[in-house]
């Protein structure tokens, strides 16, 4: 599973990355988590408010920090 | 083996929470919110008497003394501002769930200049986005066909008309000043955006921006229930009030000190009406400063009490909030330096105009 956390590096983007990493560890799913800070790449997903989380190319959340419960449900 | 056990336990727990029915939650929230609002209202009304009682009877400070003035100010304004802030941040948090940046972009996409500028400035107040989203937002708006001037109106109004500043101005200086701040902030965003749109600055956007094709249909649908909206309100209170309360208290403490100890009319010569240069100076000093409204408004109140002119002080506050150096550095990723300078110049002139207007009116 390929997970991307989109965000240039503000507090909320770091929080989103933390939540995703925690959820991945907790679920034991085999996934790579990548932080994307490049605006060109962020825009190519059609995302224009950060943080956003993309799993296997599909945008799951835009403009807010997801809850751990949300992330766990996406990982299933 | 313990960590592994713990992992599986938490995972099942979290999944169970996700699938729990939420029907009863809305009723519970409403039952909680109604009495909370009544308690808020009663407590708010009791604050003036309570602060006097605490200062002069409980603490035994002499009435009319410098210390008494300062302490009474501190004990009255701190709970008042924090209570107002909690209520308004909750309300704004709920309202904002109705205005996602995606929806705002759809609303603005077909709009012409002028009507679009007005709408963008208004939407800038209620659309939630964190400051580091300014660049993706700019790209998203411009590539979706929102005119550049309209995009600028949005980007100017969003930080400039700030709910925290509005609450503080209302709580500390009354509704007239708050309304003037709201009105002139919107006016600067509308006019500055319109002017920037007329200047045909498209060549000064970095070239790669225009080549990007965005596909908003790939985004997840936005279906929120009232439970989600109320929870967003709680979350906003925890997030925003939790972050700014300390600045508010420090700001009010500094304000209280100025209030009790700086002589009347002390500020008149430096920040008074007669010092014509004070307005542009306030804007220039304000631009590189980066502070949130929470810390600056209580100081503004105290300065006003000592003879500083309203327009000068408001211009200073607007420059601090709306034109920050960190934001311009972020915008540099999509805008060429010349456009950033024109942007700062037009907004700065607008703010200076507001400053002179207030000094003239009051």
Structure tokens at B23: 């029907």
ipTM: 0.81
Residues B229, B97: contact at Cβ < 8 Å?
A: yes
Name the domain count of chain B.
1
CB atoms within 10 A of CB B356: 17
Taking the C-alpha atoms of residue B272 and residue B290, their distance in angstroms, rounded to an integer, is: 24
Residues A1, A56: contact at Cβ < 8 Å?
A: yes
Region for B153 from its dihedrals, namely left if φ exceeds 0, alpha if ψ lies in -120 to 50, beta otherwise: alpha
Residue at B279 is within a domain:
yes
Taking the C-alpha atoms of residue B44 and residue B47, their distance in angstroms, rounded to an integer, is: 5
Residue at B133 is within a domain:
yes
- Chain A positions touching B333 (Cβ under 8 A) are 39
Residues B255, B313: contact at Cβ < 8 Å?
A: no
Closest of B124, B83, B80, B134 to residue B104, by C-alpha? B124
**Nearest by CB to B208, which of A40, A58, A59?**
A40
Domain ranges of chain A: 2-74
Residue at B344 is within a domain:
yes
Taking the C-alpha atoms of residue B182 and residue B187, their distance in angstroms, rounded to an integer, is: 9
What residue of B is the nearest CA neighbor of A57? B218
Residues B96, B89: contact at Cβ < 8 Å?
A: no
Query: B141 exposed, middle or buried (CB, 10 Å; 0-12, 13-18, 19+)?
Result: buried
Query: A72 exposed, middle or buried (CB, 10 Å; 0-12, 13-18, 19+)?
Result: buried
Taking the C-alpha atoms of residue B234 and residue B229, their distance in angstroms, rounded to an integer, is: 9
Residue at B255 is within a domain:
no
Instruction: For chain A, say whether B219 makes contact (Cβ under 8 Å).
Output: yes
Instruction: For chain B, say whether A14 makes contact (Cβ under 8 Å).
Output: no
pTM: 0.80
- Chain B positions touching A61 (Cβ under 8 A) are 220
Taking the C-alpha atoms of residue B160 and residue B125, their distance in angstroms, rounded to an integer, is: 9
Contact A63 B129 (CB under 8 A): yes
Taking the C-alpha atoms of residue B49 and residue B28, their distance in angstroms, rounded to an integer, is: 34
Structure tokens at A50: 């950060």
What domain range includes position B213? 101-223+262-361
- Summarised one tens digit per residue, pLDDT across range A44-56 is 888 878 889 999 9
Identify the active-site residue in A13, A16, A55, A71.
A13
**Nearest by CB to A50, which of B14, B136, B220?**
B136
Establish whether A13 is a catalytic residue: yes
**Nearest by CB to A48, which of B128, B136, B333?**
B136
What residue of A is the nearest CA neighbor of B130? A50
Which residues between 146 and 175 in chain B have a beta carbon less than 8 angstroms from any beta carbon of chain A? none
A2-74, which class in CATH? alpha beta
Structure tokens at B222: 């936005």
* Whether pLDDT at A72 is above 80: yes
Question: A interface mutation test: which of B132, B223, B239, B290 has the most A CBs within 10 A?
Answer: B132
pLDDT of residue B13: 37
Residues B351, B210: contact at Cβ < 8 Å?
A: no
Contact A28 B141 (CB under 8 A): no
Instruction: For chain A, say whether B325 makes contact (Cβ under 8 Å).
Output: no
CB atoms within 10 A of CB B79: 16
pLDDT of residue A57: 85
- Chain A positions touching B215 (Cβ under 8 A) are 46
Residue at B281 is within a domain:
yes
Q: How many residues does chain A have?
A: 76
**Nearest by CB to B131, which of A10, A68, A76?**
A10
CB atoms within 10 A of CB B18: 13
H or E segment and range at residue A55? strand A52-55
Mean pLDDT (10-residue bins), chain B, 362 residues: 37 40 79 92 91 88 85 88 91 88 85 88 83 80 88 89 85 87 93 92 85 69 84 88 86 82 73 81 81 73 82 88 81 88 91 90 76
pLDDT of residue B130: 66
């Amino acid at each position: 599973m390929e997970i991307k956390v989109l965000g240039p590096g503000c507090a909320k983007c770091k929080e989103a990355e933390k939540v995703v990493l925690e959820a991945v560890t907790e679920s034991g799913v085999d996934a790579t988590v990548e932080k994307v800070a490049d605006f060109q790449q962020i825009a190519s997903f059609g995302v224009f408010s950060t943080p956003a989380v993309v799993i296997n190319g599909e945008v799951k959340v835009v403009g807010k920090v997801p809850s751990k419960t949300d992330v766990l449900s996406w990982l299933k | 083996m313990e960590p592994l056990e713990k992992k599986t336990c938490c995972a099942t727990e979290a999944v169970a929470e996700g699938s729990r029915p939420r029907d009863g939650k809305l009723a519970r929230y409403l039952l909680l919110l109604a009495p909370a609002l009544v308690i808020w209202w009663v407590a708010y009304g009791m604050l003036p008497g309570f602060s006097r009682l605490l200062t002069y009877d409980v603490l035994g400070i002499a009435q009319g003394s410098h210390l008494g003035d300062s302490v009474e100010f501190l004990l009255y304004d701190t709970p008042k501002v924090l209570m107002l802030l909690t209520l308004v941040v909750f309300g704004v948090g709920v309202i904002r769930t109705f205005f996602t940046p995606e929806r705002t972009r759809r609303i603005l996409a077909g709009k012409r200049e002028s009507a679009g500028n007005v709408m963008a400035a208004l939407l800038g107040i209620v659309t939630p986005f964190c400051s580091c989203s300014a660049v993706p937002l700019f790209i998203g708006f411009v590539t979706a066909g929102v005119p550049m001037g309209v995009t600028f109106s949005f980007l100017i109004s969003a930080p400039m008309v700030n709910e925290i500043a509005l609450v503080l101005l209302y709580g500390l200086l009354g509704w007239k000043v708050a309304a003037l701040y709201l009105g002139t902030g919107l006016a600067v965003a509308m006019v500055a955006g319109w002017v920037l749109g007329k200047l045909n600055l498209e060549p000064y956007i970095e070239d790669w921006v225009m080549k990007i094709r965005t596909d908003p249909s790939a985004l997840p649908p936005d279906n929120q229930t009232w439970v989600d909206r109320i929870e967003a309100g709680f979350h906003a209170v925890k997030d925003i009030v939790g972050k700014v309360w300390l600045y508010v208290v420090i700001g009010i403490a500094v304000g209280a000190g100025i209030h009790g100890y700086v002589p009347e009319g002390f500020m008149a010569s430096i920040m008074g009406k007669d010092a014509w240069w004070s307005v542009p100076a306030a804007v220039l000093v304000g631009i590189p400063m980066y502070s949130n409204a929470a810390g600056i408004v209580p100081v503004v109140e105290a300065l006003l009490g000592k003879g500083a002119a309203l327009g000068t002080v408001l211009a200073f506050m607007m420059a601090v909030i709306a034109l920050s150096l960190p934001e311009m550095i972020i915008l540099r990723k999509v805008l060429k330096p010349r456009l950033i300078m024109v942007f700062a110049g037009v907004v700065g002139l607008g703010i200076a105009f507001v400053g002179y207007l207030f000094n003239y009116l009051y």
